[in-house]
Amino acid sequence: MYNLKFNDIIYAKGDLANDRLKRKSTFLNSFLEYLTGILNKSVNTVKEYNYDLAHFLKFISHHFGLSSEENIKEIDIHDMSIETVKQIKLEDIHAFLYYLTETYHSKAATRARKAASIRMFFSYLTQKAHLLEVNPAQGLETPKLDKRLPKYLTLEQSKELLEVTKAESGDFKERDYAIITLFLNCGMRLSELVNINIKDINFYDNKLNVVGKGNKERTIYLNKACIDAINSYLAVRPHDGVKFDSRDALFLSKRKERISNRMVQEIVKKELIKAGLDISKYSVHKLRHTAATLMYQYGNVDIRALQVLLGHESISTTEIYTHVENKQVKNAVESNPLANE
């Protein structure tokens, strides 16, 4: 059992990030370049792979006794050789996943993501880079995921959240209302909302182009509520003093620069609290769940249309939104013609 505490790897920005990238192991660096240059993975996706694999390789360094550093965060892996990687076996990967469970109580979804990163990494080393003859992750299974229904706001709760946000006072009430409106009506991801540029909006056809996972662009159609909220915000959006690289951004912060992911999360959290909703249950991503669920339940939306709208690569991902409320299940059973026999 591992008693070490692995502190979260913090990604740096700018020059520091570039410096750290240069100091990565050559084989890890080439894999990250492959993700970007060949597979066209987004910056955020590459960062996730980087995080997962750095976590794994730092663990391996300690697991193999190659470092006396007690704080795994401080273990330097830039000089790890491919010969060390060749020694990794399936049981070492299992030990890493066990370590995550025992030390951090990592959820199955977290372990599944890291397992997927490791599988792809070793697949690259064997089939693309030809640095390994044997793939130790070939028989690696995905940790079994708990099948849980997504948490979402009811229609009444959604209306309350919108009303509370609209009733706000202050310099940013139009911005915050537009943000909540887009989340609840369009089901977009946090990164998609943050990266919206004004030029991405086609006001003539009421549609918006966003870039989702894997740098894939898709079109989102905007309803009247969205158009009205955006127009109200644009009427008061700052124009003077906006940072040069944020001039095209739709949503701006108090500092007149593109709003950050963290700021949007704080805005949503604030409004959820004011609406009397439990922030331990609801978050930005739960608003995406809410939009999908409401469209499916009240809009008679075809599952494949919902897949396109949400930007899901696989229909199986979208199918989670076809859940039915317990009340509906109960009513269905009670409507059975044999119910009163």
pLDDT (tens digit per residue) in 81-102: 999 999 999 999 999 999 999 9
Q: CB–CB of 179/229 below 8 Å?
A: no
The residue type found at 336 is N
- What is the structure's pLDDT at 335? 56
Active-site hit among 24, 189, 258, 286: 189
- 312 in active site: yes
Low-confidence ranges of the chain (pLDDT < 70): 1-24, 146-149, 321-341
Give the active site residue among 24, 113, 286, 288.
288
Least Cα distance to 286 among 199, 137, 180 occurs for 180
What's residue 203's pLDDT? Answer: 94
**Model pTM above 0.75:** no
Domains of the chain: residue spans and CATH: 14-128 (1.10.150), 155-325 (1.10.443.10)
Average pLDDT, the chain: 85
Catalytically annotated residue among 218, 274, 285, 323:
285
Q: How far is CA 105 from the centre of its chain?
A: 20
Give the residue from 187, 141, 148 showing the smallest Cα distance to 309. 187
Catalytic residue list contains 285: yes
Query: Pick the catalytic residue: 63, 86, 213, 247?
Result: 213
Q: For 202, phi and psi rounded to 5 degrees?
A: -100, 100
pLDDT computed for residue 53 by the predictor: 96
Cα–Cα dist 174/203, whole Å: 18
Which pLDDT score is estimated for 340? 59
